[in-house]
Structures are given as C-alpha cells and as structure tokens.
Structure 1
Amino acid sequence: MSTIQTQKCPIDGDHLQRASDYLAQFGITHFFYGITTKVMIPSLHQFKKLRRRLPQEMIRAKCGVYSSDAILTFRHHYLQHFAATDEPYFNKHPLGLSVWQDPDLNGSKGEQFARLLEEYQIRSRGVWHLPIRQHPDWLAAFVFFSDQDRQTLLENLTANEADIGHHLALYAALFNEQCISQLNPIANFSCLSERALAILRLTAEGNSSEEVAEQLSLTESGVNYHLDRIKELLNARNRAQLISMAHTMGLLD
C-alpha cells in the first residue's frame, strides 16, 4: 500500500466522539468529513480537478475529519484500488441524504472489494451533502458507513432525516470553523501553488505588487500575472473582492 498522504484535521476529540455517538444510534459506525464541490459546469470557480473528483486526485487530500484511524485507512485503500470501478462513487448524489446502492462484487476485483468491506465490517455506505456558508459552489460531505444492510440503514436514516440533517449542519459548521484553512478544497487538493498563495497572503497584508515582487524575488509583472490568474479562477471582479473571497474561503487566515 502506498503511503497515506491525508492527515487528520486537529478537531477536538470530544467533538468527534459526540458526533460518532450521535450517528451510531442510527446505525452509522464510521464517517469522514470534508468539503467537496458541486459537480456542474460552469462552476463558480474553475478548478477542473475539483469537478472531476477522480480517485487518483482525491486520494491526495491533505486533510480530513475522520471518526477513526481505521476509516482513514479504508478510504485510502478504496480510492487507490476500487473507486475507479465503483459506479456509486461517480453518481451525482443529491443535496441531503444519499444511501449508495450496493457495489458490484462480481469477478476477482469484486471479491477483493468484498474482503475489504468485510475487514472493516462495512455493509452499506452513503453520503450526506449540505450547503455551507464559505462558498455557494461548495458542499459539506459526510461520507458514512454502516454494519447494517442498505435497506435497514436507509429506513433508519429516512425516519430521522430532518433531525440528522440539522445535527450534521451544526457539526459541519463546527468543523469548518476550526479547520477551514485546511478543509477548503482549493488548499486541500493543492489547486494553487505555494507561490501563488504566498503572493495572495502578502497582497492581503497590504503590500504592493512591487513590494511582493521584492520579497519573493519575482518580477512585478510576474506577481500581477499570478494575481490576475487567481482572480480569474475565483471569478473575482477585482483584487479587493479577491482578498475578501480568499478570507471567507479559508485561503487566508
């Protein structure tokens, strides 16, 4: 197995335990949380890798919120070996609750996937998408797993859908408040280079393009190019709006 690149976000353990205990009463045994983007064109920002959600790109997430080390390891195995041929992974899941269809476990690949699911005592899985305040094109994503069969889990979740959705929205807000600088998908999936982020930070601190260029050993035209490119990617009208958006989205502290 390749090295797991994704780290656990520094969320207070008590918050994670309360979230796990709450979800357990409905049959959810594990979950992980991150921020995804709406799979649509055009999107309000132009990062192709966020729209595609290809497993080989998603496996490189720097950070996530995980209910256990075990589910972080499962996610890595799944994305590395099975997601590319798992039809539910690529479905356009709606806002709110989505309990995935059972996977195709036929053939040698299916048998390997079945063994992985059995190892982690997973019989059903799904995702719960919620809007978040940081960006209209972003969604909170609680990916959840259960040792119950799909139909039983679906009935349990559907019967309590409003209450669960409310609690998950509160947990999403809490996780984002604590770790938005790591969870925001632009930083989490390395959509901007470290140089571009450094230029953005220095500009937000009030430095002129000339001053930024001097500090980073760049040309002034190079700094302006990076800023114009970021502005284009985020669909910002001007630099003032760009800085404001970057703060809201967690790109700037």
Structure 2
Amino acid sequence: MQNIESDDLAEFVISPLILQSIKPEISQHGFGGFWFQGIPNRAYQDYLHNSKTSILTRRMLHSSGGVYSSSHTVQKIQRHYIDQVAARDVNFSLALKLEQPYYYQLSEGGQANKANKLFSSYGIKTVLSYPMRHYASEAWCGRFTLLSKEGDLHPKLADLETSLKRVQSTLFEHLHHELNPYRQVSLFNQTALKALKMVASGLQNSEISEELHITIRGVEYHLESMRNKLSASNRANLVHIAHQLEII
C-alpha cells in the first residue's frame, strides 16, 4: 500500500515551509493529503455546455495547471486522476458544483468504479471536494480535494471549513497569481494579453503596435479576439472584465 505523503517535492507541490504551517489544520480532521486549485465559479455550467468557443472548455478544465499538492505522491494521484479517470468519472463534474462540499462516490451499482481503483491503490477511502469562497473575487474560488485513509469519514463541516479558510488564506498569500485559473498560460494568447495591458494603461493602438512590433491590424485582431472570448461589449468593458478576472 502506497503512502499518501512523500518528502519528494516537484513543481506544483507546496513548499515544505508553507506545508509545515498548514498541515496540522488538515490532519486534525482526519485527512492525510490534499490538492488545492483555483476554480472558475462558472466551471460547472461551462463543463455541461461544452462549447469549443468558451474560455472554459473541457480540455482546460481537464488540466493540472495551477493545481498545488501537499506532496509529490498526491500530485501523482491528481495527475493520474485527471489524465485517465476524470473524463469518464461522474464525480468530476459533480465536484464542479461549488455550492457545497461533495463526497466522491467510489462505487456504482455496488461495484468499485475507476476512481475507487485509483484511490484505493494508495489506501485512500474518502475523497472530499470542498469549495471555498474567494473573499476578493466574484469570478473564481478555491477548492480543496481532501484525501483520507479512513472510511466513512464525516468531520464536522463547520470546524473543517474554519480550518480550510485559514489554509486557503495562507495559500493565497503565497500563490495567488499561480492559483488564478484565468492566468493559466494556455488560456489566452500572450501577445493579446500584453496588448490588453497596454490598453488598460491608456496606450492607443498605434503605440501598442510600436511596442509589440506588430501591425496596427494585428493589434486590432488580438483585442477583438479578447473581446469575443470575454464577451465584452466594448474596449472599456473589456478592460473592466480583465481586471475582474485579474489577468491584467
């Protein structure tokens, strides 16, 4: 049976210094490991809609970008889940409903499902998805996926939420930009983002063209692309939405 925790760290694994301060908050409720990510508040609706023109495509939601784990082993579990289980697992979409905590169902019709086979191979018997409101954003929130080797674990949710608020506050303090789901590298064209930042600072298209070494027509193309992606009505509204999503 594999251990949930590991000292072997990699990219997107929470640093030992931060983990030392937050781990007791998690473990006191019976959870031995977790991963944490920023989740768009509209994720469930966009996942069901599954539009190729939406910012939040299923491909984007089926990604490990911006997900931070409590150990290298938990990171492997999360990536295995995303790569091989999530697309056909009912738990994935249900956990995108962010109104309340969600316990993963690890059996279907009395039989162990694929998620069960993955988690049980690490001795995990309880998986709890716990969304946490972002105090400073109406566009996205945090979400913990908590792992425990205890079966039928049902902690007092009020006490657990109090602990998770403190943990989320610490993680946002150190990793806020990295956790923002709208700041993932593949979500927006980087030249378009640079152009949008220049618009927000008051530059005109001709000035942006000179700064980015592209044609004015190229600037217009990038800004129009961003306007369509963000469903903005005009240039000012585009800048306003970009500020709300914290991408500029």
TM-score normalised by the chain length of structure 2: 0.77
Indicate yes or no: 2:170 matched with 1:165: no
**Are the aligned partners of 1:60 and 1:189 in contact in 2 as well (CA < 8 Å)?**
no
Mean Cα displacement is larger for which, 166-175 or 193-202? Answer: 166-175
> What do the CA deviations read for 1:45-91 (whole angstroms, capped 9, x no partner)?
x97352x5x3x544543332211111111111111112222221222
Letter of the 2:21 counterpart:
R
The CA deviation at 1:241 is 4.8
The CA deviation at 1:30 is 1.0
> What do the CA deviations read for 1:127-158 (whole angstroms, capped 9, x no partner)?
11122145424221111111011x2x12x2xx
Structure 1 residues 32 and 47 mapped into 2: Cα distance closer, same or farther (>3 Å)? farther
**Are the aligned partners of 1:7 and 1:62 in contact in 2 as well (CA < 8 Å)?**
no
**Are the aligned partners of 1:180 and 1:250 in contact in 2 as well (CA < 8 Å)?**
no
**Are the aligned partners of 2:54 and 2:229 in contact in 1 as well (CA < 8 Å)?**
no
Indicate which of 190, 203, 210 corresponds to 1:207. 203
Cα RMSD, aligned residues only: 3.2
Structure 1 residues 69 and 58 mapped into 2: Cα distance closer, same or farther (>3 Å)? farther
Indicate yes or no: 2:78 matched with 1:72: no
Q: Which residue of 1 aligns with 2:7?
A: none
Q: Which residue of 1 aligns with 2:148?
A: 146
> What do the CA deviations read for 1:1-26 (whole angstroms, capped 9, x no partner)?
xxxxx9417x6533323322211111
Indicate which of 48, 52, 55 corresponds to 2:54. 48
Count of paired positions: 232
Letter of the 2:45 counterpart:
M
Q: Structure 1 unaligned segments of length 5 or more: list them.
A: 1-5
Structure 1 residues 246 and 229 mapped into 2: Cα distance closer, same or farther (>3 Å)? same
Q: Which residue of 2 aligns with 1:34?
A: 37
**Are the aligned partners of 2:26 and 2:164 in contact in 1 as well (CA < 8 Å)?**
no
Q: Matched residue of 2:37: which SS?
A: strand
Q: Matched residue of 1:148: which SS?
A: coil
**Are the aligned partners of 2:31 and 2:149 in contact in 1 as well (CA < 8 Å)?**
yes
Q: Matched residue of 2:202: which SS?
A: coil
Larger relative helix fraction: 1
Indicate yes or no: 2:189 matched with 1:184: no
Indicate which of 11, 24, 27 corresponds to 1:24. 27
Q: Structure 2 unaligned segments of length 5 or more: list them.
A: 1-9
The CA deviation at 1:202 is 2.8
Q: Distance in 2 between matches of 1:163 and 1:90?
A: 26
Q: Which residue of 2 aligns with 1:120?
A: 122
TM-score normalised by the chain length of structure 1: 0.76
* Percent of residue pairs bearing the same amino acid type: 22
Structure 1 residues 178 and 238 mapped into 2: Cα distance closer, same or farther (>3 Å)? farther
Indicate yes or no: 2:101 matched with 1:97: yes
**Are the aligned partners of 1:180 and 1:249 in contact in 2 as well (CA < 8 Å)?**
no
Indicate which of 219, 223, 245 corresponds to 1:227. 223
**Are the aligned partners of 2:64 and 2:82 in contact in 1 as well (CA < 8 Å)?**
no
Q: Matched residue of 1:121: which SS?
A: coil
Mean Cα displacement is larger for which, 11-20 or 138-147? Answer: 11-20
